[in-house]
Amino acid sequence: MSKKVALVLGSGGARGYAHIGVIEELLSRGYEIGCIAGCSMGAVVGGIYAAGRLDDYRTWTESLDYLDVLRLLDVSFRLGAIRGERVFGRIHEMVGDINIEDLPIPFTAVATDLTNHQEIWFQEGCLHQAMRASAAIPSLFTPVIQGRRVLVDGGLLNPLPIVPVVSSHCDLIVAVNLNATNQNHYQLPVVERPAAWKNRIDQLVSSLGSHLPGFLRRNGDTAQLTDERSAMQTPVADEDQASPKSASGSHVADFSGPGSLLELVNQSFEVMQTSLAQYKIAGYPPDILINIPRRVCRFFEFYKAPELIMLGRQIAHDTLNRYENPLG
């Protein structure tokens, strides 16, 4: 008899693609997903799954390269670097106009209300608007305005929303934490890709440079959040900002000090999320905790979907093996 799972999908920017791999691994083992609570990218992936369009979303994200990601940047001049209309417009095309209460499984998207300083749970109403509000990463995406409410990323208060599923009638609570700091043995898988259109990318980056300083720079095969000033800065050395190498010897992620105000804000945001996630886990320990290491990629590396989906499935596979075979 299959076990019914209450699935909690945390926030963590591009690392949220790992949620797709986790979902696939759970389903391949016969687990039934009975309800979902998600924050930021966790709300996006969870909402798309609940709407039955995860395969379409995976196909689209895996097709994105550096150039495609740049094309999705609709630059804003107020309250955020990107309006997000192109990205979420594409997602809206996939899921259509559907309300949360009409989904086949219960779903909760968590956002933060800046006006009233409180956590907001979307459990009814427009799915697309709920996902957009939950994923409005401060400084990156413009917030969602609802009357007097200014809604931004739920990770500001609750990056791992376990509480919404505690009362569900499921056999297990499975939480996916995208801000783990103790998974150093996992590396980002290597995925062979066609050569990028370097000249066109450089032209686009140059044209965006005055609006998004430090957003994206080519460095070998790794896109980094830095700018010309980063070459003069001293790298920050800690366990999450080391430069681990894959089995092939190539660097998985090259972390240095923030090269722009945008990156400084988001590095600070990630540090806060890491701490908050630990409090949520301690307060409401899930039955199964799947930890995705924070260091495997930067918050903004949305062109790494294939690698991150593979990593999510690998870590879920290992974690579920330990749960199912504790003596193995």
Closest by Cα among 20, 6, 61, 46 to 134: 46
Q: Does the annotation mark 153 as catalytic?
A: yes
Q: Does the annotation mark 248 as catalytic?
A: no
Asked if 176 and 53 touch (Cβ cutoff 8 Å), the reply is no
Which residues face 126 on adjacent strands? 99
Neighbours of 311 (CB within 10 A): 24
* Marked catalytic residue, from 40, 139, 230, 256: 40
Question: CA–CA separation, 261 vs 205, rounded Å?
Answer: 17
Give the chain's end-to-end CA distance (angstroms, integer): 22
Contacts of 36 (CB under 8 A, 6+ apart): 6, 7, 8, 9, 46, 47, 49, 50, 105, 106, 107, 108, 165
Cα dihedral value 145, 57, 60, 88, nearest 10 = -10
| Beta-strand pair 288-293/172-180 | parallel
Question: CA–CA separation, 190 vs 82, rounded Å?
Answer: 29
Token pair 């370097």 is found at: 198
Burial of 7 from C-beta contacts in 10 A (0-12 / 13-18 / 19+): buried
Question: CA–CA separation, 252 vs 244, rounded Å?
Answer: 6
Report residue 317 as tokens.
Answer: 């596979």
Question: What is the DSSP-derived secondary structure letter of residue 251?
Answer: B
Burial of 108 from C-beta contacts in 10 A (0-12 / 13-18 / 19+): buried
* Marked catalytic residue, from 134, 139, 153, 230: 153
Report residue 93 as tokens.
Answer: 């095309």
Q: Which residues are catalytic?
A: 40, 153
